[in-house]
Amino acid sequence: MALNCYLSSTTISRFNPTTFEGTVEPKLLDNWHRAMESVLEVVWCPPEMMVEQAAFYIKDETGVWWHNDRERAHAYYRNLGQPVIPWAGFKRAMRDHFVPEHIHAKLRAEFDSFSMAANMTVTEYYHRFIELSHYMEDMQLSQRSFGLQFERG
């Protein structure tokens, strides 16, 4: 295990991943998550080390937040019987902290009323729909309601 962690730490830095310094823009946060997740997967970082490896690349306001919230998060997951913070939990915690509720509400409202504009291609509609639906994770959309929402557009 220690060897894998050492190799992951060393190898990750070779990809020169960007740091995350905090933003209320959901797309920037999601882009950072995807980029970091891609690097972690390519270097075969063990799932139990993903959060700790990624946390090395959060700076400034985000670093302060993580420094202050890390132990609370560990305690929460230990109470659930999980010895480490899962990657999905880390991403959700970052989104909850850095993307204010009014932004979530705006995105939910846009998703609920989203329809295909006259000048929009089907491909453009599809990509925007998928992007907006990504922010609806907390709504637990069923496959059926997801499909109906897409068809309404």
Indicate if the pLDDT at residue 145 is higher than 60: no
What number is the average pLDDT over the span 85-108?
85
CB 50 within 8 A of CB 69: no
pTM over the 0.85 mark: no
Assess whether 105 and 92 both reside in one domain.
no
Assess whether 90 and 108 both reside in one domain.
no
- Given this model, what pLDDT does residue 45 score? 87
- Given this model, what pLDDT does residue 7 score? 53
Total length of the chain: 153
Cα distance between residue 28 and residue 87, in whole Å: 17
pLDDT for 51-82, tens place per residue? Answer: 989 999 998 888 888 988 888 888 888 899 98
Structural domain harbouring 122: 101-152
> In the chain, count of helices (H) and strands (E)?
8, 0
Assess whether 82 and 144 both reside in one domain.
no
